Chains A and B, each alone.
Chain A
Amino acid sequence: MKQNTKNLTLSSLTALMGLALSASVAIAADYPAKGDFVKGAKAWADNCVRCHNLRDAKELRDDQWITTGFHMRVRGGLTGQETRDIITFLQQSN
């Protein structure tokens, strides 16, 4: 069963996406704590392919790898340390 949201118009969706895109600027965050590059490379190779093809580190900026890393931590059951290691590896490889 698909629950439709009739009152959510396309224009409001477009505005929402536009807001998300316009606000996407590079920010140098001081978190999470720096991880281990080498362990991150291994954790990236071991965990990401459990579900999907590996994504190139150069696809995203440093700040985008933070949000992506945390999203994948929730999805993939990663530990906090694994997440920090993977983010460090991707940020230093992009």
Chain B
Amino acid sequence: MKKSKKIYLAIMCSLPLMSVNSTGFAASELEQLKLDVEKLKTEVAAASEWRSQNSLMHMAGYADVGYVKSDAEGDDGSYNVGTFAPIFHYQFRDQVMLEAELEISTAEDGSTETAMEYLTIDWILNDNMILVAGRFLSPVGNFRQNLHPSWINKLPSAPPGFGHDGAAPVSDMGVQLRGGFHIGGMKANYAVYTANGPEVKAEIAPDAGDNTAIDEIEYDGVDAEAFGADGDGEKVFGGRFGILPVPSLEIAVSFVSGKATVTSFEGDEFTGTNPGLGGIAASNYDVTGMDVSWRNKSFDVRYEYVRSELGETNIGGFGLASAEWTTWYGQVTYKIPSSKFEAVVRYADFDTPHASADVQQTAVGLNYLITNNFIAKLGFESNDNPNAGQQAYDRALVQLAYGF
């Protein structure tokens, strides 16, 4: 064989080994690149807090910023940061999840306020039951536990009575069982719990002619937020049961029952010696609620009612009459077809034992869904207070809300 022919055959045989693809890299270089990528993946995975796939962590949450202007004298309007609420999820396989939500906001004086919205350890017992222990959002009704995040709430504000210091319990500290199941052709969900329960504030009204003498004592309000210690030693029991005859309709009832005790006095008009907190008999504390929601392609309709009641008691020989806080709202949201706009109207009526705190509110809003979790809201509230015979302030609100 001629030398030139040998060279030709040698080149032809070596071509496959020297072949280059369309990227211009030799096969051997691509192989090395694959090895490098695999090595990098391993290093990235090792950078996790856990090297095992058994543990997961994820941060979700929401935030909102806005502007509020009321017709109160001297109110020129204010920009504000509503809330930054990061939610931390830590999970071990499908057995347990730790959930914690912080609520960070800026006060009027510019200081930062931080609160623990909830912190629970959720133990997945079976397909129909989860044990939730810790500080949890009250299962009474639907607004507090599911609808209050600003990227979910269709208006820039909570309905009167459903925020902090309202008729509806906000949160509690205890143990809860909750879950869902199918019954017949319907879906149902439930939550039952026992918890530390609320504490009660009383107000001392002084005698007209003597600020050091007591004229009467009445209930001032119920602090229905989770307490880290059960100051009055009285536990409550409550829950919610919901049923969905069809997926678009949910009807639910809620309740709380137990006792609560006056643990503090409010009011600075009385300058005498208060009767003291010792020996105050616990009052009956009962909450009943109902919520209904229905939707179709364009409409989302919600109704929610909560009534909290304190029974009679006696402080230092002064009888406290029973008192009740009642609130409800109805809300209709209309998603304008083939657009990113939705219109909202809500009416709410909040009645308390103190007429000056009552509110009847009509709110309207127009939202623009920049994305499904990033919403620009424009709202207007008409707040009336006929029981107190005084002017309640109307407000215009603008809000940007983002859920992540």
Binding site for B on A (CB under 8 A): 1-5, 8, 10, 13, 16-17, 19-33, 46-47, 49-56, 59, 63-64, 66-68, 70-71, 73-82
Contact A51 B152 (CB under 8 A): yes
Given the complex, which residues of A lie within 8 Å of B99, measured CB to CB?
A: 71, 74
Partner of B89, one of A28, A53, A67: A67
Within 8 Å CB of A49, what residues of B?
295
Q: Which residues of B contact A30 (CB under 8 A)?
A: 53
| B29 shortest CB reach to chain A, Å | 26
The verdict on A78 contacting B180 (CB below 8 Å), with A24-B58, A49-B295 known, is yes
A53 touches B126 (CB 8 A): no
B369 close to A20 (CB less than 8 A): no
Query: 9 A–B contact pairs at CB < 8 A?
Result: A1-B165, A5-B115, A30-B53, A68-B58, A70-B91, A70-B94, A71-B60, A77-B190, A80-B124
**Contacting B115 at CB < 8 Å: which of A3, A27, A32?**
A3
- Closest CB-CB distance, B17 to chain A, in whole Å? 35
Q: Are A2 and B403 interface neighbours, CB within 8 A?
A: no
CB contacts (< 8 Å) of B114 on chain A: these are: 4-5, 8, 13
| Contact indicator A27/B130 (Cβ below 8 Å) | no
B66 at the interface (CB under 8 A from A): no
Distance (whole angstroms) from the CB of A42 to the closest CB of chain B: 9
State whether the Cβ of B104 lies closer than 8 Å to any Cβ in chain A: yes
Instruction: Indicate whether B388 reaches chain A with its CB closer than 8 angstroms.
Output: no
Smallest distance from the beta carbon of A82 to chain B beta carbons, Å?
7
Contact of B372 among A54, A71, A74 (CB under 8 A): A54
Contact with A along B115-139 (1 / 0, CB 8 A): 1100000101011101010000000
> B247 in the interface, Cβ–Cβ < 8 Å?
yes
Q: Is B76 an interface residue (CB 8 A)?
A: no
Which of A10, A13, A17, A27 lies in contact with B56, CB distance below 8 A?
A27
